Amino acid sequence: MSNETTFEPRIVAFLCNWCTYAGADLAGTGRKQYQANVRIIKLPCTGGIDPLFLIKAFERGADGILVSGCHPGDCHYNSGNYHARRRWNVFKPLLEFCGINPDRIQFSWISAAEGGKWVETINSVIDAVRVLGPFEGYQKINAIGPEGPGEGFAPSSDTTGCECK
């Protein structure tokens, strides 16, 4: 689990294809440096992000999550981000109610033109989670499983049920 000396937060970012993913690309094109603690998963739209994805990311050892998409009114699919916002409006308080720190699950609107905002946002998410420390609570439950510690990568065939191929 976490290294005793330095804790490096593990952030999973779920980005929409049209705005934030392109914004993160733009940060790259502009060679804007940021901390490397993030792994990006691209989906067509924030509206297509099921809360299960976020829970799964925590199960797989994420210390924090960022969900980011187009600004309201700019959704490539017109209303995807509005529906997403509705979801997070109930899902985030639910997680907080269960004792998950709000900084561990964050949301942003970052357009394809906002490379700078992407850098600022991801850095600040990483910093915030760094302050919180590792998500030990979740890691503890994970450790209880029959397959032993849930940390780390296991070949997918073990966890996705039978592979009837």
Partner 1 sequence: MGKKVGVFVCHCGTNISATVDVEKVAEEAKKKYPGVSYATTYKYMCSDPGQKLLRDKIKEEGLTGVVVAACSPKMHERTFRNAAVKTGLNPYQVEVSNIREQCSWVHQDKAVGTEKSIDLVRMMTEKTRKDTSLDAIKVPVTKRALVIGGGIAGIQAALDIADGGNEVILVEKDASIGGHMAQLSETFPTLDCSQCILTPRMVEVAQHENIKLYTWSQVESVGGYIGNFDVKIRKKARAVDLDLCTGCSSCWQVCPSKKIKSEFDTELGNRTAIYIPFPQAIPSKPVIDKEHCLLYRDARKKNIPPEDSKVCRKCYDVCPIAPVKAIDYAQEDEIVEVKVGAIVVATGYKELPNNVYGEYGKGKYQDVITGLQFERLASASGPTEGEIRRPSDGKEPEIIVFIQCVGSRDPAKGCSYCSKTCCMYTAKHAMLYKHKVHHGHAFVFYIDIRCAGKNYEEFSLRAIEEEGATYLRGRVSRIYKKGEKLIVLGADTLTGSQVEIEADMVVLASAMKAQDDAEVVARTLSIQYDKDRFFSELHPKLRPVESSNAGIFLAGACQGPKDIPETVAQASGAAAKVMALLSSDELEREPVVAKVDRLPPPVFSTCIGCFYCQRVCPYGAIEQEDIKARDGSVIKTVARVNEGLCQGCGLCAATCRSKSVELAGFSDEQVYAEINSVEFN
Partner 2 sequence: MIEALRKKAEELLKNKTVSVVFGYGEGSTPERTRPVFITKPEEVNKLTWNKYCVYNLTTYLKRQETRKLGKPAIVVKGCDARTLIVLMKESQIKREDVYILGVSCDGVGDPLAEKCKACDVHTPRIYDDLIGEKGENKELPFDERYAELDEYENLSEKEKWEFWQKQFEKCIKCYACSNICPLCFCDRCIVEKNQPQWIDPSAHARGNLSWNVTRAYHLAGRCINCEECQRVCPVDIPLNLLNKKLAKEAEKNFNYRPGYNIDDELAMSTYNEKDNQDFVR
| Burial bucket for residue 4 (CB in 10 Å: 0-12, 13-18, 19+) | exposed
Question: Using an 8 Å Cβ cutoff, are 122 and 27 in contact?
Answer: no
Using CB distances below 5 to 8 A depending on partner kind, what does residue 148 bind out of partner 1, partner 2, none?
none
**Residue 89 contacts partner 1 per CB under 8 A:** no
For the record, the structure tokens of 77 come out as 């699919």
d(CA 129, CA 101) in angstroms, rounded, equals 9
Using CB distances below 5 to 8 A depending on partner kind, what does residue 6 bind out of partner 2, partner 1, none?
none
**Residue 55 contacts partner 2 per CB under 8 A:** yes
Which residue bears the tokens 């302050």? Answer: 131
**Residue 43 contacts partner 1 per CB under 8 A:** yes
Using CB distances below 5 to 8 A depending on partner kind, what does residue 12 bind out of partner 2, partner 1, none?
partner 1
| Burial bucket for residue 14 (CB in 10 Å: 0-12, 13-18, 19+) | buried
Give the SS3 label for residue 48. Answer: helix
| Residues of this chain that bind partner 1 (CB under 8 A) | 8, 10, 12, 22, 24-25, 27-29, 31-34, 36-37, 39-45, 47-50, 53, 56-57, 60-62, 73-80, 83-84, 87, 119, 152-157, 159-160, 163, 165
Residues that bind partner 2 (CB under 8 A): 51-52, 55-56, 59, 72-73, 79, 82-83, 85-102, 106-109, 121, 137-138, 141-142, 144-146, 150, 159-162
